[in-house]
Amino acid sequence: MTTYVKLKVILACYGCYMVGGLLSAIFVETNNRTGTIVAIVLPTLVGMICVTLLTQQVQPPKKKLPRRNVRIVR
């Protein structure tokens, strides 16, 4: 994954988390306990999944350089 794609994923996760916080505040004001719990749990789960995906990325193996045949001239 390139740095640009990782940054977009992180920003999307953060945006989702912020929307969840806003929804949670709205549900708290309207005394909707189920909505509050859902608005807190879902963005947290999405954020944790994104972090897990980003940390589980496997780096491709490095290519080994060809062996140099050096002759020592005396």
Is there a contact between 55 and 22 (Cβ–Cβ < 8 Å)? no
Share of the chain above pLDDT 90, in %: 0
Which DSSP symbol is given to 56? T
Tell me the pLDDT tens digit for each residue of 16-52: 777 777 877 787 778 888 877 777 787 778 777 877 7
Using a 10 angstrom Cβ sphere, with 0-12 exposed, 13-18 middle and 19 or more buried, the burial of residue 68 is: exposed
Per-residue confidence (pLDDT) for residue 59, from 0 to 100 = 65
pLDDT given at position 37: 78
Confidence at 1, pLDDT banded by 50, 70, 90: low
| Domain chopping of the chain, boundaries | 3-55
